[in-house]
Amino acid sequence: MDIQVSEQVIRIHVIKMNGRLDAFSVKALRSKLDELTRQGGIHFVLDLADVSFMDSAGLAAMVSLLRQVQPLGGTVKLVRATEANANRVLTLTKMDRAFPIFDNSAAALAVV
């Protein structure tokens, strides 16, 4: 009998945001995501739990990340915002179907 063991380590970046994710603040998020993807990051958890408001600019940044990492085998998971207003844009645009959404970071990290 031949037994082979290999270990695979998956690096997942958890990005926790707070406040508003809108046209005025999204540049900082895009900059951080660009930096992490340039360093080879392809797996992300975007923690929106403390995001109070999100507009289409915030959504566009998340969709852009998803389109960038999916062809490389990457993933983008979201943590549900506690504020209903922040979740509303995901529901209205049906993006809640494009992203797996979890109640907290631990739950998102538990699913490989």
Tell me the per-residue pLDDT of 23-80, one tens digit each, with 9 for 90 and over: 999 999 999 999 999 999 999 999 999 999 999 999 999 999 999 999 999 999 999 9
Domain assignment present for residue 8? The answer is: no
Domain assignment present for residue 67? The answer is: yes
Domain assignment present for residue 94? The answer is: yes
Domain assignment present for residue 4? The answer is: no
Domain assignment present for residue 85? The answer is: yes
Res 76: pLDDT = 98
Domain assignment present for residue 40? The answer is: yes
Domain of residue 95, CATH code? 3.30.750.24
Report the number of distinct structural domains present in the chain.
Answer: 1
Residue 56 belongs to what domain range? 13-110
pTM of the model: 0.90
Domain assignment present for residue 103? The answer is: yes
In this structure, the chain runs to a length of 112
Instruction: List Cα–Cα distances, 17 to 5, 46, 70, in angstroms.
Output: 38, 8, 22
Res 86: pLDDT = 86
Cβ-contact 108, 102 below 8 angstroms? yes
Tokens of 48: 């929106």
The closest alpha carbon to 69, from 37, 27, 30, 110, belongs to: 37
Phi-psi map region of 40: left, alpha, beta (phi>0 left; psi -120 to 50 alpha): left
Domain assignment present for residue 5? The answer is: no
